[in-house]
């Protein structure tokens, strides 16, 4: 155990639940990328995340709620990526802005996990 771990305060209930929820979302996203949305099972999500199905149901009502949150998180990442691209382009003029947009679309196209999750 590291010095930081010995002195770290224990997580409160809401922090612990947020960590569990994030782990379940990460696991679901990874499994969707590896297999597909139709192949996603709650048992596999829980196993990958290291939590029980009880922990799953204390965070999500059902599989559909989990999938909606995974897709929402994915769209937020795309929006952040687009905002970053627009900030980078700045005052590049029409040609420069179009080039930035095409680069961004190319990035999206080559990030297969985004396409698989968005479907």
Backbone angles phi and psi of 13, in degrees to 5: -60, -45
- Percent helix, percent strand, percent coil in the chain, to nearest 5: 80, 0, 20
Give the pTM: 0.73
Long-range contacts of 81-84, Cβ-Cβ distance < 8 Å, separation of 24 or more: 81/107, 81/108
Q: How confident is the model over 81-85, as a mean pLDDT? A: 83
Q: 3-118 in CATH: which number?
A: 1.10.357.10
The larger pLDDT score, comparing residue 36 to residue 8, is at: 36
Q: How confident is the model over 93-115, as a mean pLDDT? A: 77
Rounded to whole angstroms, how far apart are CA atoms 72 and 6? 36
Q: How confident is the model over 1-26, as a mean pLDDT? A: 82
The 3-state DSSP class for residue 93 equals: helix
Q: How confident is the model over 87-105, as a mean pLDDT? A: 82
């Amino acid at each position: 155990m590291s010095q930081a771990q010995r002195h770290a305060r224990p997580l409160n209930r809401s922090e612990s639940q947020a960590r569990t929820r994030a782990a379940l979302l990460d696991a679901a996203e990874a499994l969707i990328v590896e297999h597909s949305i139709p192949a996603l099972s709650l048992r596999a999500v829980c196993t990958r995340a290291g939590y029980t199905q009880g922990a799953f149901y204390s965070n999500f009502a059902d599989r559909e709620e989990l999938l909606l949150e995974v897709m929402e998180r994915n769209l937020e990442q795309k929006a952040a990526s687009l905002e970053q691209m627009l900030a980078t382009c700045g005052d590049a003029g029409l040609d420069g802005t179009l080039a930035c947009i095409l680069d961004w679309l190319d990035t999206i196209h080559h990030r297969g996990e985004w396409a698989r999750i968005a479907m």
